Structure 1
């Protein structure tokens, strides 16, 4: 497998049923706990209250995914999950997914996008802060393994 060039144009689209195996495989590679199951992904693919996004570049069909939730009555959308293939990290895939999540939130007339991130996930925290997210809260023992989380938010114009 040839490495992905740093300048690859990343495309993001809504996930389809044919992406289900890739979504589940990336989830299992990326997270030791707090994973979305195949059944949960399947539900979210057809949901009005969720959007599953998939990133690709240079004919690589599947480089990453993001899951965004839209709770009825809430002015904010929630970036529930984001994951990228190991070889795609640092190449703009995460940024492209977050920007697509923000666009999806704007289309659903949400005024902000919120997310939680492990307090020890320095790379993700740097990415969110670089993209304009502000830390707004802390959750003790938020994750399945007892790790704490920071909550971030970005106002959407």
Structure 2
């Protein structure tokens, strides 16, 4: 498996993976396009080869802040449990460190047990609940993890 920065030529595959992974709160083609060109976002893909996407991650950086925000982490159902999420998280954390960030934050649906297990296994700590966070009214847990200089 290889994790790399997404390119404009990946746009169709990014949108297809988003639609196959999420029932709501999906990023649009225009949003992906904007994030691919943005200095304040990084879009990464994990692939078995250049065209077979296993997963994707989007992380945001805010100017003047040392806190990065994992906006989205998605993996194909058939790739779950095979290290795709862990590899993508390690890559976004490394990107955040290079961007000068010392903390990663994220939100996750309170009913997404597999994602919660992944984040907690990798050292993320729950610190807040946000009711009605998602389009369908579902609540979210907020998590954070300090990013030390060491790499995973």
Q: Tell me the equivalent position of 2:29.
A: 38
Deviation at 1:33, TM superposition (A): 1.2
After TM superposition, the structure 1 = structure 2 runs for residues 2-151 of structure 1, keeping only pairs within 5 Å, are 10-57=1-48, 61-151=52-142
Deviation at 1:136, TM superposition (A): 1.1
What SS does the aligned partner of 1:116 have? Answer: strand
Name the CA distance, whole Å, in 2 between partners of 1:60 and 1:41: 17
Deviation string, structure 1 residues 48-74 (Cα, Å, up to 9, x no partner): 000000001266631110000001121
Name the CA distance, whole Å, in 2 between partners of 1:142 and 1:59: 34
Q: Normalization by structure 1: what TM-score?
A: 0.91
Deviation string, structure 1 residues 62-101 (Cα, Å, up to 9, x no partner): 1110000001121100000010011110000010000001
What SS does the aligned partner of 2:43 have? Answer: strand
Cα RMSD over matched residues? 1.0
Q: For structure 2, which runs of at least 5 residues remain unmatched after alignment?
A: none
Deviation at 1:32, TM superposition (A): 1.2
What SS does the aligned partner of 1:142 have? Answer: coil
Equivalent residue pairs, number: 148
Q: For structure 1, which runs of at least 5 residues remain unmatched after alignment?
A: 1-9
